[in-house]
Structures are given as structure tokens and as C-alpha cells.
Chain A
């Protein structure tokens, strides 16, 4: 008898689920088409992708390979679709090899160093430059121990010191930033954190 009792519970639950699912899915369809965002993604990546295992390097995989991996991890970790899209955008933006063209040297996106820091760098480096997540060094130490040219090169091309569990992605993971932008943001962090 408990057999039939469970079956009834099971079928009832399935029905209830179906009723919840369909309105929920159409509701979500309206809200879910927000495209992935690189700077939100860098924060979500740093917050979520070290919960079960060590952070994997964005440069480990090609753009198309990250897609099924992030899908797999979205299901494994119980992330929302938006979190997954943001993280995917970040990973796909952070695995590129930057091309330095002569013409973009002086150009900027028209953002101040502060704006760039708050959009792209703050997720990892924190508002105080001391690091928002494990694996991020205090910027103060680095700014005091390295030359401007070296730092600029590392911001532009990405950097991982030997033994560091995490890499600084090229241009902080935002391929749209020009060398001019990077100089502005370096000036800003030198003023703020040095």
C-alpha cells in the first residue's frame, strides 16, 4: 500500500512541478536574455569558481571549449543562467593574447582611471587595492617594488608570478581597454594605493 501511496505522491509532485515550471520558464525567458558582462563575470568567477576546486586559468581553454565547461559547472554548482553567462564572458575575454597596434597607443575609451578601476579591476583587487579574494596580492607592495614600465606591461599582457595560484588576466580581462586607458588606470592606482 505504501507503494501506491508513494506513486501518488510522485505523480502529484510531477504535476505540481510542471505547473510551476511552465510559468517560471516563460517568466525567465523575458528576463534571461541579458548578455554576459565581463566585469560582473570576473567577480562571479572569483567568488564561485574556487568553491570546490582551485581556480582554473582562463587561458587553459579556447572560447568554444569554455562553453560546455561553464554549462557543466553551472549545473554542478547551481549557478543561475546569468551568473554562467557573465562568467563565460569573462573567461572568453581573459584567454586572448593581446595584439598591440601602434595606432591605439594614445587612444582611450574616454573613461578616467578611476572609472576603469571600478569597472574592471575592483572585482579582484578590491576597493582598497588589498585584494577582494584569495590569491590577489596587495597592490601597494607591487606598486612600491616594481617600475611603472614593468607594471604597465603586466597589466597589458597579463602576469602570473611563479607559485601564484591565480593569474592577472591581460587588461584585467577587458580586451576593449587601450594602452592609453591602461596608463590612466595605472596612474589612478598609483595615486590611490602606493
Chain B
């Protein structure tokens, strides 16, 4: 029937459709693929370009890194070189150092006169080799009353720092006996413009000597609250010289200027031991013994004794010292009598911090077999500290000496001192 007619028609149409459709579809697919291919190729090209750029860039940055590294290294080398050049002055073995102090003063001694009375310059030279050898030398240049300038070698020693506890000194040294002459006389150290009575040149305290000295410090092995220390000085030296009075019948003074002669052919032996049971307290004892002789005479005994102490408590600084020299009698001598020189002082200083002012008071007493040199003194002082090592000192001395001697006159002092 109809259906049998339609069926082959539908069938053949389907076949036709299939036959048609396929190539059309194929044609479209072929077009797409070509486009894709083109795009991929384009992409690939881009990728290659990017790769090339990337490659170039990494190469360049590698070169830059190298350059930077090189530069850093160069800078590092420069820094090292500069540093070692800089360190040169820290590490060199032989050092030269100039220290010292100067002082100028003004005096009014009642009833005499007013004057600018002191111009002194004490350069100190240090030459050191590592921490083994030290040469220390102090000169003293001072204008005298007559306008001449006096030059003196205060001390000159070569020190060998043998080990942590022992130093050997050879040369001219400040007398190790007592403390004032050795450590406290420099103008910026001394809290008053003058030395205590009896502690000046050729008075009761020995000043200097020439010889050999062993000194150092040791910890005291005791279980105390604070570590305790001791310091010691022992010496052998030419010793001082005896000086006769004008009449030539009395020994007037023991001159301890430090001489390189030893006419009596005797050495002086002595030393000082200082103990610091706590850091703020030092107690010292000194002694020396030897024989002295006048020219062409027999020997006579010479002894020195001394004690000194120092205590610091907050702003208060208290110190004192006793020293005595004794030359024995000798009946066969042109100057047969025994002679003694004895002096002591006590001093207290108090710092007022906020004002930079320091008050000082000192009592000193000098006794001798020679009544005309004796002196008793009260000194009052006020210091203005510009720096710890630069100050202006105002002081008044109430002196009680032998009548009509200058040692009996009261004195007003102004001193400007600088230690460097």
C-alpha cells in the first residue's frame, strides 16, 4: 500500500541525507582544524619568542648576579683592607705617648707681697713595647725666682713587666717610701696647691733615688666580701747624700734628689707594702735602711719609717701619712749629732657633685732637730673642677713656723692646674 511506497522513499532519503551530510560535515571539520593549526603555530611562535626572551633575561640576570657578586666582593675586600689599615694603630707594638701636667699659680704671703708665683710644666714621655717594656720619664721645667728656667729629670725608668705580678724598674724613680712624693705631688692630683709641711724637697720625706726596684700587685687569697689586694715595692739604690750646714758642724739635710754617684759606697735598701682589704681603703707601711757617710768619714746608720692610709667613702676622700728619717750620731764626725726629720699630715676632701666644687682641709706638722725648719700648718682649700683633670684651686695656709722665717707667714694661693 501507501506505506510500502513511503518506506523506500524515507529509506532512500535517509541514505541520501547521510551521503550528503557526511562530506559537508567533513568539510567544516577540515576548516576548523586548519584554523586551529594556524593558531597553535602562532602560539608556538609566541612561545618560542617568550622562551627566547626568557632565556636572554636569565642569561642577563646571571651576568648581573655575577657582576653584583664581584662588586660585593670588591667592596668586602675594600672594607677588609680599610679595617686592617684602621686596626694598624690598634695593633702596632711600639707606642709613643705624651702625658704630663702644667700649673700656674698666684701667691700672696702675708705680709710680703702679691705675685704670679708659679709656672711649671712637667711633660711625661711613655714608650712602650706591647705590654712588656715601658720607658717612663718625666721632665720638670720651672721658672725660678730670678727668671731662669730650671730643667730637671724628675724620673726616668725602664720598666720590664716580667709577669702579671712583678715589674722590674731600673733608673731614677720617685722614692717608693710613703705615698705623697710618689703619687700625690702632681699639681692636678694634689688637692691643695702646696705640699704638706715636711713633704717638700729636702724635708722629711725622701723624694727620689737611683737604683733598681721590684714592684707589683698580688691578690690576697682570702675569702672576703670583696677581693683584697696587696701592692709592694722593694728597692736597692745609691741612697741620699748628707748635707752640712754653713758652719760645717751639723748635718742640715738629707738630700734625696736621686744621684748617680755613691761616694760612701753604701746602698740603701727599702720598700713599701700597701694593703687594700676593701677597695676603698689602703694602708701602707714603708721602711728603708742603709749607711751614709760624709766625705772621708766613717759610716753612720740611716733609717726611714713611714705609714700612710687612704679611705674613700662616697664623696669623702680622707688620707694621711707619717714619715721619719733618722741619721745616727757619730762622735768622730765633724757633725757628730744625731738628726731627725719627721712629718705627718691628715687631709679630708669633700666633693659637692652638683656644683663641681671640692672642699679640702689639711693639717700638717713638720718636726726636726733643726728648730728653724719646723712648721705646723692648717690649710683650707676650695677647688673648682672644670674637668676631673683641670681645676682652679683657692687655698689659705695658716702657718706656724720659726719666728721671722718665711715658714711662719700665712699664705694665700690660687693655682690653675691641668693634667693631660
Contacts and interface: CB of A to CB of B under 8 A. Distances in A.
A69 B97 contact: yes
A17 B214 contact: yes
Interface string B151-191: 00000000101111111010000000000000110101100
Residue among A21, A52, A68, A81 with most chain B CB within 10 A:
A68
A78 B231 contact: yes
Contacts of A56: 388-389
Given A3-B265, A75-B134, A13 B164 contact: no
A81 B312 CA distance: 24
Interface in A17-38: 17, 21, 24-25, 27-29, 31-32
B113 to A, nearest CB: 32
Contacts of B355: 163
A79 B232 CA distance: 10
Nearest to A43: B279
Given A72-B126, A134-B312, A52 B189 contact: yes
Given A53-B188, A54-B388, A71 B131 contact: yes
Nearest to B92: A64
B353 interface: yes
Contact of B162 (A25, A63, A78): A25
A71 B161 contact: yes
A80 interface: yes
Given A9-B269, A78-B215, A54 B385 contact: yes
Interface in B286-329: 290-291, 299, 310, 312-315
A163 B386 CA distance: 9
Contacts of A72: 99, 126, 134, 136
A13 B97 contact: no
A135 B316 CA distance: 11
B356 interface: yes
B407 to A, nearest CB: 27
Nearest to B231: A78
Interface string B347-386: 0000101111000000000000000000000000000010
B295 to A, nearest CB: 15
A68 B215 contact: no
Q: Is the interface of B mostly helix, strand, loop or mixed?
A: strand
Contact of A10 (B217, B267, B291, B312): B267
Contacts of A24: 162-163, 165-166
Interface residues of A, number: 53
Contact of A165 (B136, B161, B217, B385): B385
A32 B164 contact: yes
Interface string B214-237: 111111000000000101110010
B37 interface: no
Given A2-B291, A68-B97, A134-B312, A76 B183 contact: yes
A78 B233 contact: yes
A71 B134 contact: yes
Contacts of B388: 53-57, 165
Interface in A132-170: 134-135, 163-165
A62 B86 CA distance: 13
A82 interface: yes
Contacts of A25: 162-163, 166
A146 B161 CA distance: 47
A31 B89 contact: no
B266 interface: yes
Contacts of B194: none
A47 B312 CA distance: 10
Contacts of B7: none
Contacts of A67: 95, 128, 131
Contacts of B186: 53
A108 interface: no
B253 to A, nearest CB: 23
Given A53-B419, A81-B161, A165-B351, A75 B215 contact: yes
Contacts of B95: 64-65, 67-68
B90 interface: yes
B126 A75 contact: no
Contacts of B97: 65, 68-69
Given A78-B215, A80-B229, A81-B131, 9 more contacts: A3-B266, A6-B290, A13-B236, A17-B214, A25-B166, A55-B388, A71-B134, A72-B99, A80-B217
Interface of A: 2-3, 6-7, 9-10, 13, 17, 21, 24-25, 27-29, 31-32, 47-48, 50-57, 60, 62-65, 67-69, 71-72, 74-85, 134-135, 163-165
9 contacts: A2-B299, A65-B97, A68-B96, A68-B97, A72-B134, A75-B159, A78-B231, A79-B231, A134-B314
